[in-house]
Structure 1
Amino acid sequence: MERIYLDHAATTPLRPEVVEAMRPFAQEVFGNPSSLHARGREARRRVDEARDRIAAILRCRPGEIYFTSGGSESDTWALMGSVVAARERGDPRRRIMVSAVEHRAVLDTAEALARSGVNVDYLPVDRFGRIAVDEVVERVERQKDTLLVAVMYANNEVGTIQPVRELGARLRELGVLFFVDAVQAPGYLPLDLQELPCDLLALSAHKFNGPKGAGLLYVRRGVEIAPLVHGGAQERGRRGGTENVAGVVGMAVALELAEGERPAEAKRVAALRDRLFALIRKALPDTRCHGHPAERLPNNLNLSWPGVASDTLLLALDLAGVEASSGAACSAGALTESHVLTAMGVREAEAGGPLRLSLGRGNTEAEIDEAARRIVAAVEAVRERRQSAGGAGEPDGRR
């Protein structure tokens, strides 16, 4: 039985081109970029070259790109670094606003800041998971102490795309910092920082067929941000620690490939996603799809069925050779309801536990047809077992 991978929102396989680009750094080019000798200078050259290539793709200045270990570090740094920098320069603003459907890295950082005295507002979303730009702007105008607003580009669980361009333009007029977690965007959504008016933006390489442990934070020129990681002068004194040379080189190659193939690949994957949904819904008419019907990532499906628990279904799918998830990979193993669906007004006790299916460049039409067959069979089997057991227990497996 061939296994079918439908969890690309969690992580993606390294592309062969990325592996080849990273290969020299396993043995030959092993110098520390901060060293002054020849091997160190060569490593530094490769890091600078990767930064230049990424900046060209994002249409920003190389000096606005800071390398990190991934999305969670970038998210944390964007919020904490902005707040600390504001305090250090005597800025009296002590409020940040974050959407209720942000990644846990943003929400948990916001909670940590709240414990330190920062005022945190959570921005509501509609039933599709989208914020209302006018409502956010009105709230900012009322709360004059707002320093920063954080709204992700596209949601990692339900795929809903936020109106970040419109919101960013409005916030810039108000002089409020705007942070965008764009981790799910590469390869599917435009990443042109001349067109996207944000002050800070986060990416993570392993979400677009690059290596794990490599990410970046874009910091617009003129924006002050305090270091999160101390202990060295790397990244122009803003992020201590020896650079992950192989990682940033691989990230640059992966981002170039993702952006170059984006128009055709996004269209191809969207067609496969729609085919998968149609096949499942034809066999299971009560299938519920969460997220915006149109403004959503082309590779995302978030489904549920009344009476079907996420954990039980995922185990059945794994045995059937389909690899998927119930939501954010960082929440794996937690039997708690999705904060994203809760913010959207979805009660899992009624709708059933969510199944996130996220497609990628390796998926084929034949795989999608087979995946649909296996998913339908798994849902039916879970329902039959539950009926045989008398329907006891909540849909998410809790008692």
Structure 2
Amino acid sequence: MQTIRIEKTTCPKEKPGNDNPLTFGTIFTDHMFEVDYEEGRGWYDPRIVPYHKLELDPSSMVFHYGQEMFEGLKAYKTEDGRVLLFRPDKNIERANRSNRRLCIPEIPEDLFLEGLKTVVNVDQDWIPTKPGTSLYIRPFVIATDPFLGVRPSNTYKFMIILSPVGAYYASGLDPVKIWIEDEYVRAVKGGIGEAKTGGNYVASLASQVKAHDEGYSQVLWLDGVHRKYIEEVGAMNIFFKINGVVITPELNGSILPGVTRDSVIALCKKWGVAVEERKISVDEVVAAARTGAMEECFGTGTAAVISPVGELRFEEDRMSVGGGKIGELTQKLYDSITGIQLGIMEGPEGWSVEVK
């Protein structure tokens, strides 16, 4: 394990006050983690440095061929002052799965975890403690070769930046309205849908703008082949509770394997709630909503944790879910996951990792 050198800032930023609302992803802490890669040398010179702008050659391959990966997780401060990460091993595992798909060198797990812990420890005074807030952690890799040609880069940068955040949606835990997309496609099996990379998100923007213009918070994607099977919602996985059974689309190569998704499935099984990971068609969803068989619907993701859905729209059909109110199971899942994250409740072994 390489030693991480630490260079602290001489010009600390002003931290946001507790009374100021935190807009998601707009404020960044004093420091960042950085490590470089060179073919034949591997990952080298891991360091904590003051947060800074990057200087890259205009021909850097990331700008032209999109070879980049990113992750997202959070740090929390408990009532007794401990700092906790939620299931970071799952994020590291997913990051390297994305790296393999994108031909980016895998990051040693111990280096990744130590980088996470060290930068969060250095900037732990930035962790907000107001209810609904946390420290968002964004690890990412970019290809840096100055070369205009389609091949994997020989050099990369891996960085971790931190941002104190409030709720992802301004409405907090109020149920959101979801637009079921029937024109655009996000990803297909065999593509890069299961990798966490910017290309998947830029592909969603046209539909996202269309949905926002119609008053909807997020887009629910259908599969790219049959255009009938539910996949995921924007930056989240999706769950439906129909006739007492929790159903979520099975991972098929085009759906991101969410850490919160995995946590929800584990908790439901622990509580004895029936869970099915399978194909679910938009016709089944529409029928369940129309007949009242759909009791609850919610999205899951690191940013929002649990986001209840109060309305679905497909073509011209507007379908209310649960009377537009948060469901009992949705609320229990939110309370349980956030309780584990904040150290209020004890979760399954290994879910909480303390930063020291």
TM class by shorter chain equals: under 0.3
TM-score by length of 2: 0.26
Q: Which has the higher contact order (CA 8 A, sep 6+)?
A: 1
Q: From the CA coordinates, give the structure whose radius of gyration is larger.
A: 1
Larger relative strand fraction: 2
